[in-house]
Amino acid sequence: MPSLAGLRGRGGRSGQLSVPRLRVDAPERAGLDPEQMALLARGVRGLTAGERPWAAGTVVVAGRGPVIAVREAAGWAVRYAGYDPETDRGVELPPAERVPMTVDTPFDLASLTKLFTSVAAVQQIERGTLGMDARVGAYLPEFRGAAEHGVTVRHLLTHTSGLPAELPLYDCADNAERLALLRDRGPVAAPGERHLYSDVNMLLLQRLLERLTGRTLDVLFHTGITRPLGMDSTGFGPCPGAAATEDQRRPWAKADRGMLRGVVHDENAWALGGVAGHAGLFSTGSDLAVFCRALLAGGAYGPARILGSDFVELLLAAPGLGFAVDQPWFMGELAGHGAAGHTGFTGTSLVLDPATGTFLILLANTVHPRRRPPDSTPRRDAATRLARAVRPT
């Protein structure tokens, strides 16, 4: 990983050449094998077939460099009115009342939100206003659980803080009780000892960024990432036209909210008002392709630059800051040479591969009509198809 001393002050936002914007074109124009890309698209379409499909609906966007070689939708954004636990089946809507999936359908991104929180943090590191190895307690002294154990910004970004995976904020009586729980809960493992994936890391990072900048997280995302990149379909909810998620009820869920569409699925993000560092963002496949393209192009898209290229390298280099790196279980054969990405509980995933310049966004409402044990085999298979499509340049 590059040192911060060698990075600070480099890769600024002025005097840069414009990066070509994305365009839809034939796979061959991107150095991708058309047969493999056709198999990728066919495989994703098949995920919505049958009585118990992998997902009610899917959107896939894949390409290389400035070329989107596959951009397709299949199935339904809304297929079910609810879930019947007695038959263990979704209650089908009449065909006339279902909502078809389109390539422009927004999705609840779930944990893909963490990638944007990480970019927002690295932007502050680039500016010199945030220290990577500074202690959280230096910014949030009242957060005793993290402060007393020496948790650092790096620990939060790399999921090595030792903080628990989640906290039952959804069961708290009010925001004061939620804040107290976040403030007081300490690590369950020694910071730096091991990787322990945790939503709490990003919730603390959210509060740190908000304290540091005086801006809420939604404003930081808009001004620092989505507006410069022209990602007009990306933001926190409500998002009325989004793909439906879950008939959220106990005992399979943690709250009783009924069928959800256009409001955040994650119970903790919901309890926090819908804007959270770990979940809550909505976006489309096309917007996420822009996000991938900007990172693959060293932090720039068109005339805009959201990060210097060295700081993109810092973000994506193993072990990754917020991003998972080289994880075959969802990256397939793209893993192994520095591919980075993430998955989301609602069925979303994103992979970008700096070694080949390729990107893959697979969005699906796999929790519609209710959550079930996760299965990333389709993500892995789609990524492998993309890896096998790459031709030498």
- Asked if residue 227 has pLDDT above 70, the reply is yes
Rounded average pLDDT over 304-333: 98
According to DSSP, residue 224 is labeled I
Span 48-79, pLDDT tens digits: 998 899 999 999 999 999 999 999 999 999 99
- Residue 15: the pLDDT is 43
- Report in angstroms the alpha-carbon separations of 203 from 89, 168, 179, 231, 318: 34, 13, 10, 23, 22
- Residue 327: the pLDDT is 98
- Residue 188: the pLDDT is 95
- Residue 63 near residue 358, CB atoms below 8 Å: yes
Give counts: helices (H), strands (E), the chain. 15, 17
- Residue 308 near residue 70, CB atoms below 8 Å: no
- What is the spatial distance between Cα 47 and Cα 38, in angstroms, rounded to a whole number? 15
- What is the spatial distance between Cα 322 and Cα 301, in angstroms, rounded to a whole number? 21
Band of the pLDDT at 393, cuts 50, 70, 90?
confident
Band of the pLDDT at 16, cuts 50, 70, 90?
low
- Asked if residue 17 has pLDDT above 80, the reply is no
- Smallest CA-to-CA distance from 132 within 278, 321, 306, 342 is with 321
Rounded average pLDDT over 316-329: 98
- What is the spatial distance between Cα 343 and Cα 341, in angstroms, rounded to a whole number? 7
Rounded average pLDDT over 100-123: 98
Domains of the chain: which residue ranges? 4-117+219-389
Rounded average pLDDT over 189-214: 97
Q: Tell me the average pLDDT of the chain.
A: 95
Dihedral sign computed on CA atoms, order 107, 28, 36, 296: negative
Band of the pLDDT at 18, cuts 50, 70, 90?
confident
**Does domain 4-117+219-389 correspond to CATH entry 3.30.565.10?**
no
358 has which bridge partners? 64, 353
Q: Is the peptide bond before 238 cis (omega within 30 degrees of 0)?
A: yes
- Residue 2: the pLDDT is 40
- Residue 168 near residue 180, CB atoms below 8 Å: no
DSSP string, 182-217: HHH---SS-TTSS----HHHHHHHHHHHHHHHSS-H
